């Protein structure tokens, strides 16, 4: 198999197996047998949503070569929608008035909250809204041939605009305090250990599904088309492919995956506020993928897991150090490991293939 | 090789009154010329003569201010966008080798064949159409890369990448094949190999337009040459005569 494609079937299977093992272990050790505390399960669940977010970014960045520094926008859209569902359901079925309405002195929800207490409707919105947002933005950008760093900067700007909008208190999205105080999810008390472990398990299962799906998709002829777009989009256009459509398809799909991740993240942290839309998170997603290795879905999962685990661990005693560590990771990747941790394999086992390429006669 | 007289095939490409300007800079003031089916037509000229700009205008990378470009007498290329022009039968090899480095040589070729030009989705769904593999096998033989079919294109030598890119264009059997400096940066052996390849590609149903700096190479492959200077054609005819032309010697060969 080609090295240049960063295709690692063995690593992919190992990663899928590890995710599946966690999905099985969580309900077993967290519930029946004991051994995993709800606190720990919750962290694993959060990391799983980050890993899914990283897989979403890798699909467009690693495979189609489109860097987004605004995937926090889609993640947060999913998060806000699920938060609205949880608050509305808590109000309709549990009689609990959300804090932000008390704070604003409102007795009624804004009109656009209508129907959100119903989970199927909320779920449909979680898929359709970010998908439509991505379609519109992608269509306008790709058709005008906005690409590369310009595309990345605009995604970042859009996310920032969304953050400023969400900081306003009169928009009906909870303002700068965000939304919190979720009481129940699908009729179950949200803080109960079984619910905590259940949410974590669902997150890991969704990660597994997303990972396998992305692995399948990139192995199809569509996946080859994406790699061709990444390697030389102009060449592909001059071969007769209107690249707008495949780019739009993978971009929107990536946005939906990110939104689903966000919709599972927010019930587990119990809060969403506009800081999820700050540039920090969106850049951090790119760092996860860069550390793990672009264009290898396993790399995205591993990178997200390592960095988020490190962040959780560090936040206990030295949260101020985090920006420096993140910057250090970026430097190491840029200077030493251009393909992220995947390069470590090359350093460990000197690849004979590399020598062959160099010594090959320049004559066919 | 045997010299061929100016072929009398039907016109494949007709450029009429082409004018290309970038702001105040006029790259091509007013250019008209013909390329016939069955011929290899060389376009030469010093740097800045407008050679690549001409290809850009034909393929749609640059929009000309004025003029008309007809393919096969009937197809108005200026009315089409880049992918549509490629599907209409215009194949262009870029100056810098442009291949999909992470894909294998075979995958590069297979991707270049459009069995269902109207729909990308249709194309992807019919990926395993046996005609795709069969055509790729033919072209692999034609460009001499059959032994490297499963190699990632990024691992090929420079010359092999150039041949692969030519092969990608051949997949669709283009009516007009345009090569932008196909032997730039090649070794002598690779250049000879490329000249042989281009001579073999000459076919009655195809016109080949080659832009090149290497005069000897052009003389070897081209039936006819157009010498451009400042976007104007200052000579048209056989390369041997171009070398003798006083104006051409002044602007180009004398340097």
pLDDT for position A70: 93
Find the CB nearest A235 among B98, B124, B127.
B98
Task: List CB contacts of B19: < 8 A, sequence separation 6 or more.
Answer: B26, B28, B29, B30, B31, B64, B65, B66, B67
The order of strands in the sheet holding B25-36 is B25-36, B11-22, B66-71, B75-76
The residue of B152, B170, B186 whose CB has the most chain A CBs within 10 angstroms, and thus the best one to mutate to test that interface, is B152
Question: Could you tell me the end-to-end alpha-carbon distance of chain A, in angstroms, rounded to an integer?
Answer: 21
- pLDDT one-digit tens code per residue, A310-356: 999 988 888 888 889 889 988 988 888 888 888 787 665 544 333 33
Question: What are the backbone dihedrals phi and psi of residue B166, each rounded to the nearest 5 degrees, phi first?
Answer: -60, -40
Q: Does B141 touch chain A (CB under 8 A)?
A: no
The residue in chain B having the minimum alpha-carbon distance to the alpha carbon of residue A229 is B100
Residue with tokens 């998709």: A217
Please report, for residues A125, B19, B215, B220, the alpha-carbon distance to residue B51 in angstroms, rounded to integers and kept in the order given: 53, 13, 14, 19
User: What's the whole-number mean pLDDT along residues B124-144?
Assistant: 94
Say what the pTM is.
0.89
Say yes or no to pLDDT of A202 above 70. yes
In a domain, B151, yes or no: yes
Provide the residue ranges of all domains of chain A, joining segments of one domain with +: 16-277
In a domain, B216, yes or no: yes
Name the minimum distance, in Å, from the CA of B175 to any CA of chain A. Answer: 13
Contact of A153 with A70, CB cutoff 8 Å: no
Say yes or no to pLDDT of B8 above 80. no
In a domain, B113, yes or no: yes
How many distinct structural domains can be found in chain B? 1
**Binary contact (B86, A220; C-beta < 8 A):** no
Residue B195: give its domain's CATH number. 3.40.50.300
The residue in chain A having the minimum alpha-carbon distance to the alpha carbon of residue B105 is A2
Token digits of residue A104: 């604003």
Domain limits for position B231: 11-253
Token digits of residue A243: 């690249």
Task: List CB contacts of A196: < 8 A, sequence separation 6 or more.
Answer: A38, A41, A42, A45, A268
**B224-229 and B40-44 strand pairing:** parallel
- pLDDT one-digit tens code per residue, A133-187: 999 999 999 999 888 899 999 999 999 999 999 999 888 898 988 999 999 898 8
pLDDT category, A357, cuts 50, 70, 90? very low
d(CA B110, CA A221): 10
Q: Which of A203-207, A295-299, B188-192, B226-230 has the highest mean pLDDT?
A: A203-207
pLDDT for position A343: 79
Residue with tokens 């490297």: B148
Say yes or no to pLDDT of B163 above 50. yes
In a domain, B3, yes or no: no
Q: Does A355 touch chain B (CB under 8 A)?
A: no
Question: What are the backbone dihedrals phi and psi of residue A339, each rounded to the nearest 5 degrees, phi first?
Answer: -100, 25
Q: Does B112 touch chain A (CB under 8 A)?
A: yes
Per the DSSP assignment, residues forming a β-bridge with B236 are: B226
d(CA A109, CA A98): 10
H or E segment at A12? Answer: helix A9-27
ipTM of the complex: 0.89
**Binary contact (A364, B104; C-beta < 8 A):** no
Name the minimum distance, in Å, from the CA of B220 to any CA of chain A. Answer: 20
In a domain, B210, yes or no: yes
d(CA A20, CA A27): 12
Instruction: Tell me the residue length of chain A.
Output: 364
Q: Specify the range with the lowest mean pLDDT, choosing from A91-100, A265-274, B243-252.
A: B243-252
**Binary contact (A5, B112; C-beta < 8 A):** no
- pLDDT one-digit tens code per residue, B55-93: 999 999 999 999 999 999 999 999 999 999 999 999 999
In a domain, B238, yes or no: yes
User: What's the whole-number mean pLDDT along residues A76-89?
Assistant: 96
- pLDDT one-digit tens code per residue, A5-29: 456 788 999 999 999 999 999 988 8
Angle at B180 between CA B26 and CA B116, to 5 degrees: 105
d(CA A91, CA A102): 12
Question: What are the backbone dihedrals phi and psi of residue B96, each rounded to the nearest 5 degrees, phi first?
Answer: -80, 135
One DSSP character per residue, A219-248 reads HSHHHHHHHHHHHHHHHHHTTT--THHHHH
**Binary contact (A240, B163; C-beta < 8 A):** no
Find the CB nearest B152 among A3, A224, A235.
A3
Say yes or no to pLDDT of B254 above 90. no
Torsional sign, CA A101, A102, A108, A114: positive
Say yes or no to pLDDT of B206 above 60. yes
Please report, for residues A58, B122, B144, B148, B150, the alpha-carbon distance to residue B154 in angstroms, rounded to integers and kept in the order given: 21, 28, 17, 12, 12
Q: What is the DSSP letter of B184?
A: T
Average pLDDT taken over every residue of chain A: 89
Q: Does B100 touch chain A (CB under 8 A)?
A: yes
In a domain, B99, yes or no: yes
Question: What are the backbone dihedrals phi and psi of residue A288, each rounded to the nearest 5 degrees, phi first?
Answer: -55, -50
DSSP strands (E only) in A170-320: 179-180, 184-185, 188-189, 271-272
């Amino acid at each position: 198999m080609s090295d240049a494609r960063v295709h690692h079937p063995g690593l992919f299977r190992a990663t899928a197996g590890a995710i599946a093992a966690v999905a099985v272990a969580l309900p077993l050790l967290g519930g029946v047998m004991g051994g995993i505390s709800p606190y720990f399960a919750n962290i694993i669940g959060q990391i799983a949503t980050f890993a899914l977010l990283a897989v979403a970014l890798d699909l467009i960045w690693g495979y189609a070569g489109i860097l987004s520094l605004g995937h926090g926008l889609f993640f947060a859209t999913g998060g806000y929608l699920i938060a609205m569902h949880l608050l509305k359901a808590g109000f309709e079925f549990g009689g609990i008035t959300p804090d932000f309405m008390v704070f604003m002195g409102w007795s009624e929800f804004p009109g656009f909250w209508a129907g959100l207490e119903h989970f199927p409707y909320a779920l449909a919105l979680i898929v359709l809204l970010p998908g439509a947002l991505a379609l519109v933005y992608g269509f306008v950008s790709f058709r005008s041939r906005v690409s590369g760093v310009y595309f990345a900067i605009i995604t970042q700007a859009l996310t920032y605009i969304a953050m400023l909008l969400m900081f306003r208190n009169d928009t009906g999205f909870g303002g700068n305090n965000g939304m919190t105080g979720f009481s129940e999810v699908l009729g179950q008390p949200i803080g109960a250990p079984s619910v905590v472990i259940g949410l974590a398990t669902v997150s890991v299962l969704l990660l597994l599904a997303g990972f396998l799906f992305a692995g399948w998709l990139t192995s199809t002829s569509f996946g080859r088309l994406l790699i061709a777009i990444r390697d030389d989009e102009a060449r592909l256009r001059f071969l007769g492919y209107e690249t707008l459509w495949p780019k739009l398809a993978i971009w929107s799909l990536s946005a939906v995956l990110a939104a689903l991740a966000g919709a599972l993240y927010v019930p587990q942290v119990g809060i969403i506020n506009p800081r999820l839309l700050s540039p920090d998170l969106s850049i951090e997603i790119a760092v996860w993928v860069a550390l793990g290795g672009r264009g290898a879905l396993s790399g995205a999962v591993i990178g997200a897991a390592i960095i988020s685990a490190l962040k959780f661990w560090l936040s206990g005693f030295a949260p101020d150090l985090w920006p420096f560590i993140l910057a250090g990771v970026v430097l190491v990747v840029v200077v030493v490991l251009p393909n992220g941790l995947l390069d470590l394999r090359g350093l460990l086992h000197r690849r004979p293939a590399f020598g062959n390429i160099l010594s090959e006669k320049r004559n066919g | 090789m045997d010299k061929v007289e100016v072929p009398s095939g039907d016109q494949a490409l007709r450029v009429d009154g082409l004018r290309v300007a970038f702001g105040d800079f006029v790259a091509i003031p007013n250019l008209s010329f013909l390329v016939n089916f069955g011929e290899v037509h060389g376009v030469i000229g010093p740097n800045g003569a407008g050679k690549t700009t001409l290809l850009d205008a034909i393929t749609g990378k640059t929009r000309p201010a004025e003029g008309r470009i007809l393919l096969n007498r009937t197809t108005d290329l200026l009315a089409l966008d880049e992918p549509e022009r490629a599907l209409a039968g215009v194949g262009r090899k870029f100056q810098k080798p442009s291949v999909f480095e992470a894909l294998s040589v075979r995958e590069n070729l297979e991707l270049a064949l459009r069995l269902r030009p109207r729909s990308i989705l249709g194309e992807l769904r019919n990926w395993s159409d046996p005609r795709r593999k069969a055509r790729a096998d033919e072209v692999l033989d034609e460009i001499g890369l059959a032994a490297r079919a499963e190699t990632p294109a990024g691992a090929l030598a420079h010359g092999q990448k150039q041949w692969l890119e030519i092969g990608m264009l051949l997949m669709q059997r283009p009516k007009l094949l345009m090569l932008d400096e196909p032997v730039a940066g090649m070794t002598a052996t690779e250049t000879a190999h490329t000249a042989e390849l281009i001579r073999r590609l000459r076919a009655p149903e195809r016109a080949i337009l080659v832009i090149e700096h290497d005069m000897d190479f052009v003389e070897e492959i081209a039936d006819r040459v157009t010498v451009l200077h400042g976007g104007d054609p200052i000579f048209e005819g056989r390369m041997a005569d171009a070398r003798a032309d006083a104006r051409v010697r002044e602007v180009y060969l004398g340097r």
